[in-house]
Amino acid sequence: MRSPFRRGTLGIVASAPVSRTAAGSSTGSSAGSGFGLSLARFAGYAAILLLVVAVATPLLWMVTGAFKTSREIRTLPTVWWPSALQWNSFGDIRASIVNFTEAWQAAPFGRFYINSLIITIGGMILELVNAVLTAYALAFLRFPRKNLIFVLILAALMVPSQVTIIPTYVLLGRTFPDVFGIPSWINTYQGMIVPGAATAFGTFLLRQAFLGLPRDVFDAAKVDGCGHLRLLWDIVIPMAKPVMVTFALISMVAKWNDYLWPLIITNETAMRPLTVGITYLFDAEGNTNYGVVMAATIFVIAPLLAVFIWAQRYIIEGMTAGATKG
Amino acid sequence: MLGGSPITMPGTDRSAVRRRGRLASLRHGSRGEAILFLLLVGPNLLLFGLFTYWPMIYSGYLSLVRWDLVSPTKTWVGLDNYQYLATNSGFREIMMNTLVFTLGGVGGSLLLGLGIALLLNQPLRGRDGARAVVFAPTLLSGAAISIVWVYMFDPRFGLIAKMLSTFDIRSPVWLNDPNWAMPAVIIVYIWKNLGFAAVIYLAGLQGIPKDLYEAAKVDGAGVFERFRSVTVPMLSPINFFLVVTSILNTFQAFDIISVMTEGGPVNSTSTLIYYVYREGFVNFNVGRASAASLVLFVIMLVITLAQLRYSERRVHYA
């Protein structure tokens, strides 16, 4: 276990002059050799710049591609910056966004957006409600063999949804109509949302958070005759809000990006979310019309990027907390 | 109805109970509490039963039949599906692909992630912004970014081909070449996931007490020595966590492979999860697909249990 890891980290250190920077700057106060220090700093900044450029390049290639005409995509020498994004051409807005309008018309993106929003918001709310209620019960209510139920929920973490796609599909598409007399859930919103509405991760996360809340507040509330639902709504939820927001964001990202399950459970274009819809557009336009395809890709990515820019601290810190405390 | 149920809590004083409701004997109260418990936990448990536990049991049954997903009858074949997987050379290739994809994806994203974490742990301005940029791909739709990467890898119009051509190197045809398709999807996986590893490693690095480094310095340890004797051992729990979650994550990576290569060319990028999908929903070999999905499940279960054991042990000596 240990030896391959060690070999790996040595490789990193050997290739990165950066860890030297740390030594340089931490001893810097006494060293006084300003030149060495600033050289190390310079190397550090250069490395950060290189890193950011390297990671962002595919996204820049996507954005510039979305504004290129198909001639600009094909010609040599390479056109790096599309004419549509040159400052003197911004006047003609139609020419600049022609790929976007074409993509929007090539597939029912309005429908895809609505579907994605329904699946994401509906799924997130159900997951959050489930997590809050279960976590509250596990944290504050007495029940015989309560821990057994907790283990039963946690054990579901070990069954990834990818493993159960076939039987779940059979359950919704065959067993529901044939055995229970319920109309098939194939091609329905409930078929896309409900199988993912249970949550073990959220239950675990919120239960930990609830147990960490100061006990005396609850005791005081109980002495005042406060019932459990009042306690949950008025005290526990407001106090645990940051964790709940974090979980809601993580859940939202996962639902928006979900691909395999909606791909299987839908067979009509009108029911597909963005992630699935865009791959069908890609199959149709393929590598003949990258400009339009890149514009369509931006349709899928832009909302999440916006959410991330707005809430990145919540998301990153939430994910780190889950990992480092787990 | 819920709010009205008389409820007592352990440690609540009796007068409060009496004040709350005439009916509230302690016995009655704890029964109300149990009912409330079931009401709150019920939906989650019911959903898990219906969409996790029942499907697991059912796929055990499906793995023992031959069925095409539409015909009304399923033919019992016993262990034939497993025997097929055990002896079929195509499935051995699938397992090999899964192994290569996992090693490449996990190794690449963790090594680069650690390097990035070491860089971003330095007191440099702009590192929070850099952390956000590096992390962003983790959150983006795998299907969408796979399409972007198809354009990146395009042998005529792609950025990579254009950059190679400035060095007079002819671009491979990446996704259409059985030798290059796997490296291509691994590159995309690494790009998408190194940010997660970096952020977790960074949190780990920031949790290492500074005085350990000071002590090592007093002992005359150089930068390299300090890294080896302080950073590496202190990061080892986090490293283990990342190795395990990344392995599980690569086993589930479906969208990149589905969009970029559909498992091809000639099955060279078909991993276990893609095989399950293709056998089940394209070739309609439900039995075979179910057997393969249980193979996938057992592998993941073993890895998860190993992690649980390890982290339990960690709790004991921590």
pLDDT higher at A88 or A289: A289
Q: Which residue of B has its CA nearest to A145?
A: B34
pLDDT band at A319 (very low <50, low <70, confident <90, very high): confident
On average, the pLDDT of chain A sits at 82
B62 C-beta neighbours (distance < 10 Å), count: 26
Quote the minimal CA–CA distance from A212 to chain B in Å.
Answer: 18
Quote the minimal CA–CA distance from B252 to chain A in Å.
Answer: 7
- Domains assigned to chain A: 2-96 (no CATH), 105-325 (1.10.3720.10)
Give residue A163's pLDDT. Answer: 85
CA A252 – CA A39 distance, rounded (Å): 44
Residues B114, A12: C-beta atoms closer than 8 Å:
yes
Residue of B141, B163, B218 for testing the chain A interface, max A β-carbons within 10 Å: B141
Q: Is the pLDDT score of A19 beyond 60? A: no
The least confident of A111-125, A134-148, A258-272, B14-28 is B14-28
pTM: 0.85
Using CB atoms, which residue from B55, B238, B248 is nearest to A168?
B55
Residue of B17, B19, B37, B254 for testing the chain A interface, max A β-carbons within 10 Å: B37
Residues of B in contact with A113 (CB under 8 A): none
CA distance readout (Å), B113 to A29, A308, A320, B13: 30, 20, 14, 54
Using CB atoms, which residue from B47, B124, B142 is nearest to A45?
B124
Q: Which residue of A has its CA nearest to B238?
A: A324
| Whether A16 contacts B115, CB under 8 Å | yes
Q: Which residue of B has its CA nearest to A73?
A: B157
The type of residue at B129 is: G
Quote the minimal CA–CA distance from B94 to chain A in Å.
Answer: 16
CA A183 – CA A123 distance, rounded (Å): 21
- Where does residue A75 fall: left (phi above 0), alpha (psi -120 to 50 degrees), or beta otherwise? beta
The least confident of A24-28, A32-36, B115-119, B151-155 is A24-28
Give residue B198's pLDDT. Answer: 95
Residues A55, B133: C-beta atoms closer than 8 Å:
yes
Which ipTM did the prediction report?
0.84
Q: Which residue has the tokens 């509330």?
A: A221
Using CB atoms, which residue from B62, B145, B236 is nearest to A166?
B62
Quote the minimal CA–CA distance from B238 to chain A in Å.
Answer: 7
Task: Output the DSSP codes for A11-56.
Answer: HHHHH-THHHHHHHHHHHHHH--HHHHHHHHHHHHHHHHHHHHHHH
pLDDT band at A322 (very low <50, low <70, confident <90, very high): low
Q: Is the pLDDT score of A76 beyond 90? A: no
% residues pLDDT > 90 (chain A): 47
| Whether B75 contacts B67, CB under 8 Å | yes
pLDDT band at A133 (very low <50, low <70, confident <90, very high): very high
| Whether B57 contacts A166, CB under 8 Å | no
Give residue A46's pLDDT. Answer: 93
Question: Which secondary structure element, helix H or strand E, spans residue A121, and what is its range?
Answer: helix A109-140
CA B231 – CA A94 distance, rounded (Å): 55
| Contacts of residue A32, Cβ cutoff 8 Å, sequence gap at least 6 | none
Residues B133, A230: C-beta atoms closer than 8 Å:
no
Residues of A in contact with B62 (CB under 8 A): 166-167, 170
Residue of B110, B119, B305 for testing the chain A interface, max A β-carbons within 10 Å: B119
What pLDDT, in 10s, does the model give residues A162-209? Answer: 889 999 999 999 999 989 989 999 999 999 999 999 999 999 999 988
Q: A180 in helix, strand or coil? A: helix
DSSP code for B180: T
Mean pLDDT of A116-141: 96
Task: Output the DSSP codes for B8-60.
Answer: --TT--HHHHHHH-TT--HHHHHHHHHHHHHHHHHHHHHHHIIIIIHHHHHHH
Residues A166, B280: C-beta atoms closer than 8 Å:
yes
A and B: number of Cβ contacts within 8 A: 341
Domain B80-317: CATH superfamily, name plus number: MetI-like (1.10.3720.10)
Give residue B299's pLDDT. Answer: 93
pLDDT band at A69 (very low <50, low <70, confident <90, very high): confident
Residues B149, A58: C-beta atoms closer than 8 Å:
yes
Residues of B in contact with A279 (CB under 8 A): 143, 147, 258-259
| Whether A22 contacts B94, CB under 8 Å | no
Mean pLDDT of B61-80: 93
Q: Is the pLDDT score of A146 beyond 60? A: yes
Q: Is the pLDDT score of B11 beyond 60? A: no
The number of CA neighbours under 13 Å toward the Cβ of A313 is: 3
Quote the minimal CA–CA distance from B24 to chain A in Å.
Answer: 12
